[in-house]
Amino acid sequence: SLSERLQDTFDKLRGKGKLTEADINVAMREIRMALLEADVNFRVVKDFVASCKEKCLTAEVLDSLTPAQNVVRIVLDQLTELLGTTESKLVLAQNRTPNVIMLVGLQGSGKTTAAAKLAYLLKGQGHSPLLAACDTHRPAAADQLATLGSEIGVPVFRGDGKDAVKVASASIREAVDHLNDIVIVDTAGRLQIDEEMMQEAVAIKQAVKPDQILMVVDAMTGQDIVNVVQTFAERVDFDGVIMSKLDGDARGGGALSVRAVTGKPIKFVSMGEKPDSLEVFHPDRMAKRILGMGDVYGIIEQAQKVADQEQIDAAERMLREGFTMDDLLGQMQQIRKMGGLAKIISALPGGERALAQQGGVDESSLGRIEAMIRSMTKEERARPKIINGQRRKRIAAGSGRSVQEVNQLLKQWGEMNKMMSKMRAATQGGSKKQRRQ
């Protein structure tokens, strides 16, 4: 992958100590190849490598004590700049109700999915969105939106289902009547850019005067992405990009080209099919991820999203009273909510590499542990110490696992519990110290 190739290049530089101009040239050639293979637009690559090279070939860098680190930092900075430097927020007009957000893009790019995800995100922020089904060309399109809407509890306006412009206009009146403060307009797309599609998008735009037009771009589009976004920029114009299906594209080439080619910011990235998989785009984090430095912030945010008061209470209780099997079960469910072990590990620095070397993680081990815990009685879960040989056999039989696996689980629990008591001792020690002062 792109990350692996760049990391290899940096590893080679680090192994050298002192760097010469020739070393930098070799590294830059490798970076160029890696970016091209990741489908980054060739003009973007050319400019990118030229500016990196210029910054690297200074006495300041070459004669520094840590030249390789400086090169990595320069590439990271340039990559962050390429991706837009700062987060570009969704701008909502304060003095207009409802606000109108219109989505455009090719068919299959992920507009309808993104419309629902955006509605879900805005609903979570206390807004009351309305989804407008303005893809009137495919009969199933409105049904798809209606299904997504009912999953996330957001109303969907279908109007007469015939004239996209009329549906769009009527959806604004509907929103006013029902006190929806945001209308998200889903539109039709074609497989290729075509005149009728562009005219319809422009007509909807004129009818509803959107506060924001977002273009949904499939991250896996490849080199063609440049033509597509440029044409939309010229014909309809848009304020920002939602990059979809980034979960399926480890190369990240599309994301790297779009900003440079159109000057339009990426505002959101979509990382899966579930309604909560739309994330605000952070150029610095994406750059770090591409360089294999891990998206630790993303994971922390994800953790914050799923952590509720119940879990905070649970953590406090664990510190007070020790760690039960129910706690372990709860933690595993937490991992599931965060997208599974593989997602968490790959977000850690060097994690993607470690995963690749290991050939992935065995997510099913979570399921096996869950099965064993579920075969324990309430008392056993609360006080695993009482689980003797007899009970181990029963748990193994009940969960379809071996006694050795049950032993292993109890051993792990023992170690976790030891760690927990150490933490308990440390926090109590800390408060004693404070008292003494």
**Smallest distance, ligand GDP to C-beta of residue 202, A:** 18
Among 107, 223, 311, 331, binds ligand GDP (CB under 6 A): 107
**Contact flag: residue 272 with ligand GDP (CB under 6 A):** yes
Contact, 65 vs 19, CB < 8 A? Answer: no
CA distance 271 to 186: 19
* 109, interface contact from Mg ion, ligand GDP, none, CB < 5-8 Å by kind: ligand GDP
Neighbouring CB atoms inside 10 A of 74's CB total 18
**Contact flag: residue 254 with ligand GDP (CB under 6 A):** no
CA separation, residue 206 to residues 38, 92, 130, 236 (Å): 38, 18, 19, 10
**Contact flag: residue 181 with ligand GDP (CB under 6 A):** no
Tokens 């924001």 -> residue: 212
Among 244, 262, 302, 324, binds ligand GDP (CB under 6 A): 244
* 30, interface contact from Mg ion, ligand GDP, none, CB < 5-8 Å by kind: none
CA distance 127 to 225: 32
**Smallest distance, ligand GDP to C-beta of residue 235, A:** 17
Give me the 110-129 binding string for ligand GDP, x by CB under 6 A, dash otherwise. Answer: xxxx----------------
* DSSP characters over 337-373: HTT-HHHHHHHSTTHHHHHHHHTS--THHHHHHHHHH
Contact, 297 vs 265, CB < 8 A? Answer: no
Among 124, 248, 360, 367, binds ligand GDP (CB under 6 A): 248
**Smallest distance, ligand GDP to C-beta of residue 343, A:** 13
Closer residue to ligand GDP, CB minimum distance, 132 or 409: 132
CA distance 65 to 60: 10
Site for Mg ion in 118-147 (CB under 5 A): 135, 141
**Smallest distance, ligand GDP to C-beta of residue 192, A:** 13
* 7, interface contact from ligand GDP, Mg ion, none, CB < 5-8 Å by kind: none
**Smallest distance, ligand GDP to C-beta of residue 220, A:** 9
Q: Is the dihedral of CA 362, 364, 370, 371 positive or negative?
A: negative
Q: Which two tokens stand for residue 398?
A: 């009940």
Give me the 198-217 binding string for ligand GDP, x by CB under 6 A, dash otherwise. Answer: ------------------x-
Q: Which two tokens stand for residue 333?
A: 């469910």
CA distance 287 to 258: 14
Tokens 């190849």 -> residue: 33
Contact residues for Mg ion (CB under 5 A)? 111-112, 135, 141
Contact residues for ligand GDP (CB under 6 A)? 105, 107-113, 189, 216, 244-245, 247-248, 270-273
